[in-house]
Amino acid sequence: MRVPVITGTDAFSVPSAPRGPAAPETATTVAAVRTALPPHRYTQDDLTEPIGDLCLPPGADRAVLRRLHASAGVRTRHLTLPIEQYAELGDFGQCNDAWMAAGLELGEEALTGALKEAGLEPADVDLLVCASITGIGAPSLDARLAGRVGLRPDIKRLPVFGLGCVAGAAGLSRVHDYLRGHPHDTAVLLTVELCSLTLQQRDDSPANLVAGALFGDGAAALVARGSSCGTGAAIAPGRAGPSVVATRSRLYPDTEQLLGWDIGASGFRVVIDAGVPGIVRDHFGRHLRAFLAEHGLTIDDIETWMCHPGGPKVLSAVTDTLGLPDGALDSAWHSLATVGNMSSVSVLHILQNTWQSLRPEPGAWGLLMAMGPGFCSELVLLRW
């Protein structure tokens, strides 16, 4: 399978007169996005046999495992711990302790980096939304971060668990909802996903083996500002981020069993049903087209597609059901290849890369989209 690489500004053509409405006066501006990755980086080939040692019984045939790793579309990934230390994680408590310790480090790096990029201080943040589906804590991760980074004591906090891969897009949607009602405020969406810590030892189920082939670890922070704020002193002219024009959430009935966790004594046991690409092909395109039509747009008007990289089959299903041209989802394929599927972090990682590498022209339309447990999807219409 090809692994495309973003190389410049020629990946998408930009029409001289973009269609559709202007960004509304209540639009949210994305002021910065910053991704933080753990230091332990591995090639896919380096991980295949160690993950087999963790998941398969001694002497088991590894043909399926090796085939999954070869076809996952992943070249490299970052892990929270050195790969040899995962066998020492004896139970869910130890995995969750590792999630909290590493999550605080990565979360702080992403959060402070994004604020610096936006030209803001921690005391400027009015709302912090913190999403993760790979660990839990009370006090929550955001509460423990507040004092470390200097957030105000009166900051509004919203920890979110359960959205999974869709949380990057859904979190931006809910931040936008908040800022429409608080146009003078600044909000941060922080996602922390340490997927490797959920890998189940001695579990040779297809879902666990697929997860072991696809998922990587990381954190991302997005700074958003209400319509009555500036974008931040550090943003150079012509480099402002996109505005959120509209959002759309969708639950697909009778699909709850397709994606999520079975939670037990060993922690989070992944559920990934083979029917997910079929749901995408049957329903996703129709709902997406209807959403765009409400704003006077069609698929041909979208110039930057930022899609959560659920895996090769999901990306292919999105391309087929939307009839996208070759290269439209290169940003998703590139993210999958270089860092794997990082759950809710991935779509923010793709947004950051699109902003930095493609540098869309002012007025260009973008669509950020993700899917997750429920089964559900989230669409965010952007204008650069």
List the one residue out of 195, 175, 116 whose CA is nearest residue 150. 116
Dihedral angle over CA of 148, 153, 155, 160, nearest 10? 60
- Identity of residue 15: P
Q: Which sign does the torsion angle of CA 51, 57, 59, 61 carry?
A: negative
Quote the tokens at residue 283: 């329903």
> Checking DSSP bridges between strand 28-36 and strand 40-43, what pairing results, if any?
unpaired
Q: Identify the three-state secondary structure at position 124.
A: helix
Angstrom distance (rounded) from CA 154 to CA 252 = 37
Quote the tokens at residue 380: 């965010």
Q: Which sign does the torsion angle of CA 103, 104, 105, 111 carry?
A: positive
Question: Which one of 55, 95, 165, 229 is the catalytic residue?
Answer: 165
Angstrom distance (rounded) from CA 191 to CA 112 = 13
Helix 344-353 crosses helix 167-181 at what angle (to 10 degrees)?
70
The answer to whether 165 is a known catalytic residue is yes
Query: For residues 368-379, b (16+ Cβ closer than 10 Å) or e, as one string?
Result: bbbbbbbbbbbb
Angstrom distance (rounded) from CA 148 to CA 222 = 18
DSSP secondary structure, 262-310, as one string: EEETTEEEEEE-TTHHHHIIIIIHHHHHHHHHTTT--GGGEEEEEE---
371 — phi, psi (to 5°)?
A: -130, 155
Quote the tokens at residue 354: 């699109």
Contact by Cβ (8 Å): 145, 104: yes
Q: Which residues are catalytic?
A: 165
